[in-house]
Amino acid sequence: MKIIKRSGEEVGFDITKIIAAVHKANKEVEPVNRLSAGQIQIISKNVEEICRRSIRALNVEEIQDAVEDEIMQAGAFQVARAYITYRYKRQLVRQSNTTDAQIITIIESQNEEAKQENSNKNPLLASTQRDYMAGEVSKDITKRFLLPSKVWDAHQKGLIHFHDADYFAQHIHNCCLVNLDDMLQNGTVISETKIDKPNSFSVACTVASQIIAQVASSQYGGQSISAYHLSKFVDSSRRKFRKEVKEEFEAAGICADETQINRVAEERVVKDINKGVQTIQYQVVTLMTTNGQAPFITLFMYLDEAPKGQERQDLAMVIRSVLEQRILGVKNEQGVYITPAFPKLIYVLDEDNITERSPYWDLTCLAAKCTAKRMVPDYISAKVMRELKQGNVYTCMGCRSFLTVYKDESDNFKFYGRFNQGVCTLNLVDIACSSQGDFDEFWKIFDERLELCYQALMARHNRLMGTKSDIAPILWQNGALARLEKGDTIDRLLKNGYSTISLGYAGLCECVRYMTGKNHTDPSATPFALAVMQYLNDACKKWKEKENVDFSVYGTPLESTTYKFAQNLQKRFGIIEGVTDKNYITNSYHVHVTEEIDAFEKLKFEAQFQKLSPGGAISYVEVPDLKGNLPAVLSVMQYIYENIMYAELNTKSDYCSQCGYDGEIRIITDEHGKLAWECPHCGNRDQNMMSVARRTCGYIGTQYWNQGRTQEIQERVLHL
């Protein structure tokens, strides 16, 4: 049986420490008011049983609360008072330095929370540890100086989640759409080195890889680039190769016509495309940014972004190469091809690729094959998106954060070069439980929690105000987001809708269950769920009018926070069946992972909630191995096109390095009561000797997850 120390380290339960603590408190009171040795033993055993019955590892604070309760149950109130005083004194000592213990456990790789905070960060690496250490300092400064105390207290209690507090001390933002077109066409500067316009596709890909790494090191969220911005350089390669081939033929004394020259040149174009795509794939997965992980990058593949004719054909060739190379995968240390986490791929479904009669149907079939094997690409419906985004089709920033529709001073729609300022997420389940089922009280508490979120988001906005462009030249001076002068501030980019700031939400399913006694998929409960979503949108509209900042409702991709929220709910309200009885709460508006529902019904149901999450949302369906059933994949893709803006298919892609097994690595409960990953073929549980890829938050994770998220993965039911 394990417990979590204050430093985050996970250790075995030790009953002698409880006995010793109670004995110390016991000695502080008069003999007549003391507990007997037998009573202390009973108290300790009762606390041990509470820990054993818990559905997760309890932390020290929770265990000490249980000790207090047991002492008072025994009627030893003076002993309880002494014990509380002892705790308070120890707390004062700890508060004099709030970071040292955390940092030491991070360095020694003993901090379980840090180990499982991000499924794409390896906590054993020095670069990751350095990032986490800096993050502890930032959180300490944020808690003590930068955030209103009410906001931080609400964050600590799990009423809200103030995202990325480990980066808040710096003047940096969340995620963005990189204006790669401007940087490649007009040149840029990387690390004080001038980079001119590339003269071929492969060179453009090399430059793009460097831009991606620089951008990732200057912010803390995801970024997206367009395949079209790269494919514009295919024709540069074509012209270069035609000239080279012609000169080679002439030098060899071969008389060749234009058709022959073009055929040979085109063969070299295809090789150059493959070389460039491979450069991006391998650069992205091998680069290490300053935050200790590979760049969180999304590649957007939309055929109609290119005009009809040769440019669209060139883009199609690039997309084909991307898909073929992703199907192949990348080699791990043993030389086995596995599924990489990045780049995340998005493929847009439109009239020219959605049916067998469409000119690019073959690309869609290749995308289906890629999804079945490697879990990507994910799919955007151009048809539905145009309905929701004023006729526009554009990519998210990273995994799901979408910009609002915006027109520049020339009245043209603009998306590339824009960004998100940050996120604060509202715990809807806590609002429901706090209201005790009273609807009037529910809306009253909702308003109070929204005010906390507003204060948190304005703190983030104000933290960015006054930021000088010099802090990240690649972003603000050299074209990724703007071309400001040195010394300029980014203030004008923070208002008037140029950038967004996100009000996140989590646990709509459990919230509705508590308030109505039914799942939000029940027709009688759905109206309440939609009313909650509308309330979030109304708040954003009010704040936007007040501050001239684009607040937007965002379906938060809780990763580690799903466990934090669940722990806080259990501590505040106990175990409530169907509401707080899991070690996770449901992401955003999603149907609960345990609910039996058909894939098509799930997508149709969730589509109405995507409309009310304009700041970002993604839906998924859990499917079995479909590598041998591509028609099923294609049918889901066609349904996505007709019914929902943004969705993905969750398959599995695992490999055991111990025995070579390439089927599904399973989740088991080990001898300590913890969930663990185990190869069903050889019994291997060493995470360093297996590759497990799962999509948890709109992106693929490969470095494992905390106990809450692992339970959520284990309990997923198939939708197809």
Q: How far apart, in whole angstroms, are the C-alpha atoms of residue 635 and residue 646?
A: 15
Strands 330-331 and 193-195: unpaired
Which residues lie below 8 Å from residue 318, measured CB to CB, with a gap of 6+?
201, 227, 230, 231, 234, 273, 277
- Name residue, tokens 């345990």: 594
Find out whether 427 and 158 touch, Cβ atoms under 8 Å: yes
Q: Are 299 and 285 in contact (CB under 8 A)?
A: no
CB 298 within 8 A of CB 224: yes
Q: Are 429 and 158 in contact (CB under 8 A)?
A: no
User: Is residue 335 classed exposed, middle or buried when 0-12, 13-18 and 19+ CB atoms within 10 A define those classes?
Assistant: exposed
Q: How far apart are the first and last CA of the chain?
A: 37
Give the integer Cα–Cα distance in Å for 215 and 199: 23
What are the φ/ψ torsions at residue 556 (nearest 5 degrees)?
-55, 130
Q: Who contacts 129 (Cβ-Cβ below 8 Å, separation ≥6)?
A: 106, 107, 109, 123, 292
Q: Which of the 8 DSSP states describes residue 307?
A: P
**Strand, helix or coil at 405?**
coil
- Tokens coding 200: 């071929």
Catalytic residues: 174-175, 397, 399, 401, 420, 554, 559, 698
- Which candidate, 415, 338, 343, 420, places its Cα nearest to that of 665? 338
Hey, what are 218's tokens? Answer: 């200057």
Q: For 125-166, what is the HEC assignment?
A: CHHHHHHHHHHHHHHHHHHHHHCCHHHHHHHHHCCEEECCHH
